Structure 1
Amino acid sequence: MTPLERAARRLCELDGHRDGATINGITLWQDYLPKARAVLLSLREPSDAMLLAADSLPCSIGTAGHWKAMVEAALNETDRTA
């Protein structure tokens, strides 16, 4: 499963739909692909906190480790607009 599909499925679930729900034979999570794509596109430009998280890790941890650290940093950032 791709990150885009995982995100779309999660958005669908957050709206209260069960995994695998269909309407007229079409899986409902597919309706969430544009929103999921918008979220992933917003992650193209890392924040300072994301860069710092990646830079603080040794190279030996690998790309996946750096990616996870950057996403965790993004999830832990506070909303400055609130």
Structure 2
Amino acid sequence: MTRAPESAARALCKLDGHPDHAEMNGTTLWQDYLPKARAVLLSVRNPSDAVLAAADALPCSVDTTACWQAMVDAALSE
């Protein structure tokens, strides 16, 4: 499984129109997006009340992945 900073960096790189395995000076281009990806992850590290409410609305038996996805979906809808 790809780690979150890498996954986010790859998504930002793709958003800028670069192919997944694009390279510059022997380094994959998505690596240049890691600082931005980390900044985004840091900005969502502390969930808002709406994000916490989305997690609280789920039944206790929901798995961690479903909980995380519900929280991110709530953050995206803010």
Query: TM-score surpassing 0.5?
Result: yes
Match of 2:49 in 1: 48
Match of 2:7 in 1: 6
* Alpha-carbon shift at residue 59 of structure 1 (Å): 1.2
Match of 2:70 in 1: 69
The gaps in structure 2 that reach 5 residues or longer are: none
Opposite residue 68 of structure 1, the aligned amino acid is Q
SS in 1 for 2:72: helix
Match of 2:33 in 1: 32
Q: Number of aligned pairs?
A: 77
* Alpha-carbon shift at residue 56 of structure 1 (Å): 0.3
TM-score by length of 1: 0.90
TM-score by length of 2: 0.94
Q: Aligned equivalents of 1:8 and 1:59: distance in 2?
A: 32
The gaps in structure 1 that reach 5 residues or longer are: 78-82
Q: Deviations over 1:9-57 (max 9, x none)?
A: 0000111111100011110000000000000011111011101100000
User: After TM superposition, which residue ranges in structure 1, 4 or more long, deviate above 6 angstroms?
Assistant: none
Give the CA RMSD over aligned residues.
Answer: 0.7
Aligned identity (percent) is 68
Q: Aligned equivalents of 1:67 and 1:53: distance in 2?
A: 9
